[in-house]
A = this chain, B = another copy of it.
């Protein structure tokens, strides 16, 4: 099957579609500064995110049952606040801050790119975000998804195979008719071994200017493109 056989595009979201770091940085400052908190907001956002993979690993390994990412984000928030020595925040503020992950801004090429891609392809997030988070994010950022797929509907966190395979099953497509689009080599590797097509879109600023993670493709992905506009062009949209 060639790239012309790709019917659905499945997108990693955090980092690939939206710039979580600057969005969480900005919202944390806006919500916590009025409480008298002062700190390195970018470091706070990154420290919150660092706890993301270990929290999901507890689910992937079977040490705890599946819970929504909102709950993991909340547990991680309380831990990172303690890490930064911030005490005494009360419930409405904590809940509101946790919703920062529902209001992340897209990279600038995303809106025009998805509009072009939507004409001839089914578009779906294949994210570890829970359904409501992804619904809110789509409404906030104007993401024209056809369907919300990913961890919660599969009850499994990427890179568990079930997360990808359940998405293809919901779409009634063989994996080779689905293309995983991600800024992360490990996400693409997990999808490829199951038969998905793969597109790498590096987002060098995801973790900040000094980061060296995922700057380059580590395999011969089906497509390697700088942004969603070029992805649309390469797919003939």
| Residue interface mask A109-146, B partner, CB < 8 A = 1 | 00000000000001000000011101100110000001
Beta-carbon nearest neighbor of A148 in chain B:
B147
Complexed CA–CA distance, A130 and B147 (Å): 12
Q: Which of B70, B134, B146 contacts A135 (CB 8 A)?
A: B146
Complexed CA–CA distance, A78 and B173 (Å): 23
Q: Is A171 an interface residue (CB 8 A)?
A: yes
Number of chain A residues close to chain B: CB under 8 A = 19
A135 touches B147 (CB 8 A): yes
- Residues from chain B with Cβ under 8 Å of A87 in the complex: none
Complexed CA–CA distance, A128 and B135 (Å): 21
A170 touches B152 (CB 8 A): yes
The smallest beta-carbon distance between A132 and chain B, in angstroms, is: 4
A132 touches B70 (CB 8 A): no
The smallest beta-carbon distance between A114 and chain B, in angstroms, is: 14
| Residue interface mask A40-53, B partner, CB < 8 A = 1 | 00000000000000
Complexed CA–CA distance, A148 and B70 (Å): 20
Complexed CA–CA distance, A130 and B169 (Å): 11
